[in-house]
């Protein structure tokens, strides 16, 4: 494909990526620049995400200044941090100055601590103060993700006066669609929408059209606040300090960004890996290895417990070697049952449907669920095994499946809650623990049931 064949509006991402990579391999930067110039930024961003860090920095420099700023803002904070490391100090300073205060903090969280003071010194005094006010909150709090650039109004102001405030802040306000209403002590007393202001008469008082405000404390958790914002369908939420004074605004787009990030991390960690910061094909092999090796070590160490259990019941296996055939089935079923329960409860915790105080209720529910699953699978296991071997072996398998499913579901259900109580990420803690615990206990149950029924 030649440069002239690239359409002026839309282009297939794979075709564009191939063309860019070919141009870079030939060191033909002019061809790469020509290929990028007619393409919308929304299609340039996926190309930047899929390039390796060195090529990403090269291609980024080919974009005109305004398009470069737009592309940079569309990247995830992790990729922004990678790109910054490939740019010159002057380029980074210019980009940093163009960002909103809350976006600057997202980026600073991905950079080495030694970089932050240098970048902050390059800002104007006002921008430095705004950014520092957000940096003052803990990393997992909503204060760290709010914007200090907002438009507020007062109950006694008219619609016309409020709209003049909005027009004066159009260039820098985070949002103008939801405006906090504050009293003279800066305490939030309500909110008013831009729609209501535009529909009202010029001399209408804000107090007559404002609604009750849903506020969030600045030190509350970012994920919980983001979920509240999306669940309630709010475009923006005022953020307040301990005395209910307005300190910032939190918008729906930032809420979606936080939830997407958290869900990606949870999905990865439930699979026993650390989340990747960039698309799979552009992630270096060493980073993929690093994301997986820790949990493989943990699981390998845990597997030694399973080996120890097998060695304890070695004599039982020697007397009835057919029992060894069912070991993978039983520990696999137990592990899957436990992981299903853990995934369900972890999701319920994230949505606020379950809290640590519900531990006993979850335990009893999952015990009942596990018993029900165990009876269904046990009947199936008994029937098939009795036909192939004999009824005693079938009874061993059936009874073991009932017990293993009950134990696995119960442990899998309470582990995420225990993790939350000890302030550990449930997605990280639950599945590796369940795999190790259920494998070992499942084998103990299996051999004890076999000895009781078969008399060996």
Q: Structure tokens of 340? A: 């299903």
Mean pLDDT of all residues in 294-320: 68
Question: Of the segments 177-191, 251-265, 299-313, 439-453, which one has the largest average pLDDT value?
Answer: 177-191
26-54 residue pLDDT tens: 888 888 888 888 888 888 888 888 888 88
- Residue 310: count other Cβ atoms within 10 Å of its Cβ: 16
Sheet arrangement for strand 216-217: 216-217, 236-240, 246-251
Between 37 and 281, the higher pLDDT residue:
37
| Site of tokens 């504050």 | 182
73-118 residue pLDDT tens: 888 887 888 888 777 667 777 778 888 888 888 888 877 776 777 7
Q: How far apart are the first and last CA of the chain?
A: 73
Between 118 and 20, the higher pLDDT residue:
20
Which of these, 4, 13, 14, 57, lies nearest to 34 by C-alpha position?
Answer: 4
User: How far is it, in rounded angstroms, from Cα 157 to Cα 199?
Assistant: 16
pLDDT value at position 280? 67
Mean pLDDT of all residues in 260-278: 70
pLDDT value at position 1? 38
Instruction: Give the list of residues 6+ apart from residue 361 with CB closer than 8 angstroms, or none.
Output: none
pLDDT of 5 higher than 60: no
Query: Apex CA 100: angle with CA 99 and CA 102, to 5°?
Result: 120
pLDDT value at position 431? 67
pLDDT of 351 higher than 60: yes
User: How far is it, in rounded angstroms, from Cα 344 to Cα 369?
Assistant: 12
> Phi/psi zone of residue 157: left (φ > 0), alpha (ψ -120 to 50 degrees), beta?
beta
100 close to 171: Cβ distance less than 8 angstroms: no
Please state whether beta strands 188-193 and 178-182 pair in parallel, antiparallel, or not at all (unpaired): antiparallel
pLDDT of 430 higher than 50: yes
**pLDDT bracket for residue 246 (50, 70, 90):** very high
pLDDT value at position 353? 83
| Site of tokens 């069912």 | 326
pLDDT value at position 6? 40
pLDDT value at position 369? 94
Instruction: Compute the radius of gyration of the chain from its Cα atoms.
Output: 29
User: How far is it, in rounded angstroms, from Cα 96 to Cα 15?
Assistant: 31
pLDDT of 182 higher than 70: yes
User: How far is it, in rounded angstroms, from Cα 183 to Cα 87?
Assistant: 46
User: How far is it, in rounded angstroms, from Cα 297 to Cα 86?
Assistant: 33
pLDDT value at position 271? 62
**pLDDT bracket for residue 272 (50, 70, 90):** low
Q: Three-state SS string across the chain, please?
A: CCHHHCCCCCCCHHHHHHHHHHHHHCCCHHHHHHHHCCCCHHHHHHHHHHCCHHHHHHHHHCCCHHHHHHHHHHCCHHHHHHHHHCCCHHHHHHHHHHCCHHHHHHHHCCCCCCHHHHHHHCCCHHHHHHHHHHHCCCCCEHHHCCECCCCCECCCCEHHHHHHHHHHCCCCCCCCCEEEEECCCCEEEEEEEHHHHHHCCCCCEHHHCCECCCCEECCCEHHHHHHHHHHCCCCEEEEECCCCEEEEEEEHHHHHHHHHHHHHHHHHHHCCCCCCCCCHHHCCHHHHHHHHHHHHHHHHHHHHHHHHHHHHCHHHHHHCHHHHHHHHHHHHHHHHHHHHHHHHHHHHHHCCCCCHHHHHHHHHHHHHHHHHHHHHHHHHHHHHHHHHCCHHHHHHHHHHHHHHHHHHHHHHHHHHHHHHHCCCCHHHHHHHHHHHHHHHHHHHHHHHHHHHHHCC
pLDDT of 289 higher than 50: yes
Question: Of the segments 7-16, 19-28, 147-156, 335-344, which one has the largest average pLDDT value?
Answer: 147-156
**pLDDT bracket for residue 317 (50, 70, 90):** low
- The mean-pLDDT minimum among 240-244, 257-261, 293-297 falls in 293-297
User: How far is it, in rounded angstroms, from Cα 191 to Cα 246?
Assistant: 12
pLDDT value at position 8? 44
Please provide the average confidence, as pLDDT, over all residues in the chain.
83
Mean pLDDT of all residues in 322-327: 80
pLDDT value at position 188? 94
Q: Structure tokens of 175? A: 């949002």
Mean pLDDT of all residues in 155-165: 94
Distance set, CA 122 to CA 72, 83, 97, 105, 364 (Å): 18, 19, 8, 15, 58
User: How far is it, in rounded angstroms, from Cα 134 to Cα 118?
Assistant: 17
pLDDT of 16 higher than 50: yes
pLDDT of 3 higher than 70: no
């Amino acid at each position: 494909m030649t440069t002239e064949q690239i359409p002026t509006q839309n282009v297939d991402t794979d075709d564009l990526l191939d063309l860019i990579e070919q141009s870079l391999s030939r060191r033909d930067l002019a061809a790469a620049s020509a290929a990028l110039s007619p393409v919308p930024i929304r299609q340039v961003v996926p190309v930047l995400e899929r390039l390796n860090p060195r090529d990403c920095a090269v291609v980024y420099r080919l974009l005109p200044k305004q398009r470069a700023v737009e592309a940079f803002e569309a990247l995830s904070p992790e990729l922004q941090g990678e790109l910054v490391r490939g740019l010159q100090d002057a380029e980074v300073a210019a980009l940093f100055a163009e960002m909103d205060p809350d976006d600057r903090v997202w980026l600073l969280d991905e950079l080495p601590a030694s970089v932050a003071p240098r970048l902050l010194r390059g800002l104007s005094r006002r921008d430095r103060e705004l950014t520092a006010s957000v940096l003052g909150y803990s990393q997992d709090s909503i204060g760290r993700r709010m914007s200090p650039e907002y438009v507020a109004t007062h109950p006694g102001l008219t619609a016309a006066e409020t709209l003049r405030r909005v027009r004066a802040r159009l260039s820098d306000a985070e949002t103008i669609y939801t405006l906090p209403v504050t009293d003279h002590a800066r305490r939030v007393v309500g909110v008013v929408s831009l729609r209501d202001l535009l529909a009202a008469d010029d001399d209408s008082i804000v107090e007559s059209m404002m609604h009750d405000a849903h506020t969030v404390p600045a030190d509350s958790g970012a994920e919980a606040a983001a979920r509240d914002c999306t669940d309630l369908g709010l475009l923006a939420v005022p953020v307040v300090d301990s005395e209910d004074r307005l300190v910032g605004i939190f918008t729906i787009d930032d809420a979606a960004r936080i939830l997407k990030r958290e869900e990606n991390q949870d999905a990865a960690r439930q699979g026993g890996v650390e989340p990747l910061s960039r698309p799979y094909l552009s992630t270096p092999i060493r980073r993929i290895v690093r994301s997986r090796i820790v949990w493989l070590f943990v699981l390998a160490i845990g597997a030694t417990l399973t080996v120890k259990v097998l060695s304890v019941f070695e004599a039982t296996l020697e007397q009835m070697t057919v029992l060894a055939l069912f070991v993978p089935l039983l520990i696999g079923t137990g592990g899957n049952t436990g992981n299903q329960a853990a995934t369900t409860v972890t999701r319920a915790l994230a949505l606020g449907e379950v809290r640590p105080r519900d531990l006993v209720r979850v335990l009893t529910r999952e015990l009942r669920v596990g018993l029900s699953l165990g009876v269904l699978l046990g009947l199936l296991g008994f029937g098939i095994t009795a036909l192939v071997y004999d009824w005693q072996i079938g009874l061993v398998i059936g009874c073991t499946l009932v017990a293993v499913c009950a134990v696995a579901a119960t442990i899998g259900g309470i582990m995420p809650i225990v993790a939350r109580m000890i302030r550990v990420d449930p997605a990280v803690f639950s599945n590796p623990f369940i795999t190790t615990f259920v494998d070992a206990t499942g084998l103990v149950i299996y051999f004890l049931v076999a000895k009781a029924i078969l008399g060996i």
